[in-house]
A and B are shown apart, each in its own frame.
Chain A
Amino acid sequence: EPEVTQTPSHQVTQMGQEVILRCVPISNHLYFYWYRQILGQKVEFLVSFYNNEISEKSEIFDDQFSVERPDGSNFTLKIRSTKLEDSAMYFCASAFAPRGKLFFGSGTQLSVL
Chain B
Amino acid sequence: DIQMTQSPSTLSASVGDTVTITCRASQSISSWLAWYQQKPGKAPYLLIYKASGLESGVPSRFSGSGSGTEFTLTISSLQPDDFATYYCQQYNSYSYTFGQGTKLEIK
Same assembly: no
Binding site for A on B (CB under 8 A): none
